[in-house]
Amino acid sequence: MRYELKLYCEKSRLAELRSFISEVLVPAQLNAISQNQLILAVEEVCANLIIHSHQCNPQRYILLTIHLLTDRVIFEIKDSGKAFNIIEYKSPEINAVVKEKRKGGLGLLLVRKIMDKIEFETDASFNTCRLIKKLKSK
């Protein structure tokens, strides 16, 4: 199954994003922890785009497409802001975050730990980030 959400670039819409993903994932019958991890990883990528690539401009939007397959789920996140290559981005060390009293930098580290595969591509009109998670067969 394929599901789509047009998410406008406001931080206040993150709650709407979470409820959308949680409804889409119902048929996958994930346990509460796994479901929360997937919601979190997608939110981290979207929050990052909303804040850093689109400066919370509510006129702009991100397109999330979820492909729910039997053996995996693919979250495809498209935007047309300045390309942010999640694969090339180096996450900071946790110790450095503490030492520098940084409030950011942990999000993409979470995404990497949660997802099985991350893909990124960009062309003239869109940046596409794909987060892939294998689902355990029942």
Partner 1 sequence: MLSINKAADRDHLIIELNGEVDASNSVELDEVIQQALSEDSNKILVDGRKLEYISSAGLGVFMSYLEDFQEKNVSFVIFGLNEKVLNVFHILGLDQLIRIRQTQEEAEQALYEV
Q: Which residues are near partner 1 by CB under 8 A?
A: 11-12, 14-15, 18, 32-33, 36-37, 40, 43-44, 47, 50-51, 94, 97-99, 101-107, 109-110, 113-114
Instruction: Provide the minimum distance between the beta carbon of 49 and partner 1 in the complex, in angstroms, as a whole number.
Output: 11
Instruction: Provide the minimum distance between the beta carbon of 115 and partner 1 in the complex, in angstroms, as a whole number.
Output: 11
29: phi > 0 → left, psi -120 to 50 → alpha, else beta; which?
Answer: left
Instruction: Provide the minimum distance between the beta carbon of 112 and partner 1 in the complex, in angstroms, as a whole number.
Output: 10
Report the 10 Å Cβ neighbour count for 116: 10
Report the 10 Å Cβ neighbour count for 135: 18
Nearest residue (CB) to partner 1, 26 versus 69 = 26
Nearest residue (CB) to partner 1, 22 versus 122 = 22
What lies within 8 Å, CB to CB, of 27 at 6+ separation is 1, 68
